[in-house]
Amino acid sequence: MKNYKYYLLFITTFLLFTTSFGQKKLTLNEAISIALNSNTNLVKSQNTLLTTEASVKNAYGDLLPSLGIGGSWGWSRTNDDGGTQLDFFGREQIIPASQIDSRSYSLSASGNVTLFNGLSNYANIKQKETNLNSALFDLDKLKQDIILQTASLYFSIISYERLLKFQEENYTYNKNLTDKIREMLDLNMITVSDVYAQDVQTANSELAFLQAKNNYEKAKINLLKYLTLDITGEYTFEAPQSVNFNYFDSRDDQTKLFEAALKSRKDFQSQKLKLESAQYQLTISRSGLFPTVSGNYRYSTSAIRPGDLFNRRIFSMGLSLNFSIFSGWNTEFAIQSAEVQIKNATEDLNALEKEIRAQVKNTLLDLETAKTQVEVTNKSLISARLNWNMKRENYELGSATFIEMQQSYRDYLQAQNNDIQAQYSYFTKQFELMNVLGRLNTEF
């Protein structure tokens, strides 16, 4: 029997060693770095940003003169079967059969430039640059949201991992307590009802252990899937000792926090640029009310032989003025659409400002509550542990019932669960506050 126990101990130790050896350690910062490099929405946004950058270059290109070159070659053959015709004096002339080949070559270079179009081209450049800056702000905000989501999933794993370890200890304790109570029953120190009650408690602790294990595995899957990592891989997660941000938790500083959030929030800055872009669109739409002045230029040469191409050269240039008298109300419609776009962008900006103020206030309240909850649950845990130890000693001395001891133990279990969840809820709330203030660092 002893050899069997040693053999079982050796196998268990070997399996634990090999499993740990194959595991990869993943810290919070590493998880955030992976998320910022592999998130699908972020990758797609970065790809779209390339098009936005190209649109700025294209807008500048509208200011530059265009240039194009072209060439042509032509060949023709005229076959005449001959015949007769009258000359000037009315005499009949015989025309012999003939065949004439002709060839032509030409080269040309031409282009045009817009000199004035109601400042539409300049407004277009400003609009495209504004759209690019707005897209960059949106990209930064997306990164901050990804950081928050990653931290939330990571803290969930750490929380469930601690709960799993605690439930494992709880299950082991109840199994050992079951053996001890059976021994006490054999000594006629307790009644059989205590044994039955403890069997139920052990079964419940086993169920709680399995549920905690299930929650932990699901939390790992959620994080690994979000990081686009292999969900079958073995990873260990390092619990942060503390997450301490410098933030204002005084009610007297909320006004300053509101103003700081409006200056730092990437989505708010982006929305301001969207309003500015709509104003540029109005300038572009109004350009239809003005005439368009453009210049054109051309150089060409032609010959019947390639060697004579540049013997005859033609240079030309000119100006053209176009003014739309009636365009089917297209210009009026474009102006009205731009004005509506400005009104909607202004409404979105005002709504976002109110939302940011509400988010800051709510998150501050949540963080203060979470901080208080950590302090309360920690005190409750200490009290519940002391009460359980006392009831356990009293039960062994016969001055407390089994029900009283178990009730104190259940209170201890609940206090432990509350304490673990409160700690990591507080960590998450700190990240949420930094996100609503626009202060999450995206450089990892």
Give the pLDDT band (50/70/90) at residue 6.
very low
| CA distance readout (Å), 358 to 16, 144, 251, 261, 370 | 49, 19, 14, 11, 18
Residue 18 has pLDDT above 50, yes or no: no
Burial of 440 (0-12, 13-18, 19+ CB in 10 A): buried
- What pLDDT, on the 0 to 100 scale, is given for residue 7? 42
Secondary structure of the chain in HEC code, one letter for each residue: CHHHHHHHHHHHHHHHHHHHHHCEEECHHHHHHHHHHHCHHHHHHHHHHHHHHHHHHHHHHCCCCCCEEEEEEEEEEEEECCEEEECCCCCEEEECCEEEEEEEEEEEEEEEEEEECCCHHHHHHHHHHHHHHHHHHHHHHHHHHHHHHHHHHHHHHHHHHHHHHHHHHHHHHHHHHHHHHHHHHHCCCCCHHHHHHHHHHHHHHHHHHHHHHHHHHHHHHHHHHHCCCCCCCCEEECCCCCCCCCCCCCHHHHHHHHHHHHHHCHHHHHHHHHHHHHHHHHHHHHHHHCCEEEEEEEEEEEECCHHHHHHCEEEEEEEEEECCCCCCCHHHHHHHHHHHHHHHHHHHHHHHHHHHHHHHHHHHHHHHHHHHHHHHHHHHHHHHHHHHHHHHHHHHHCCCCHHHHHHHHHHHHHHHHHHHHHHHHHHHHHHHHHHHCCCCCCCC
- What pLDDT, on the 0 to 100 scale, is given for residue 81? 75
User: How does pLDDT run across 385-428, given as a tens digit for each residue?
Assistant: 999 899 888 887 878 888 888 888 889 888 988 998 898 899 89
Give the residue, 110 or 89, on which the prediction is more confident: 110
Give the residue, 6 or 43, on which the prediction is more confident: 43
User: How does pLDDT run across 201-236, given as a tens digit for each residue?
Assistant: 889 989 989 999 999 999 999 999 999 999 888 899
User: How does pLDDT run across 318-352, given as a tens digit for each residue?
Assistant: 999 999 888 889 999 999 999 999 999 999 999 99
- CA 225 to chain CA mean position, Å: 15
| CA distance readout (Å), 202 to 121, 143, 173, 210, 411 | 78, 46, 9, 12, 16
Residues in the chain: 444
- What pLDDT, on the 0 to 100 scale, is given for residue 142? 96
- Report d(CA 142, CA 140) in Å as an integer: 5
Using the structure block, give the residue that is written with the tokens 């969930």.
156
Give the pLDDT band (50/70/90) at residue 243.
low
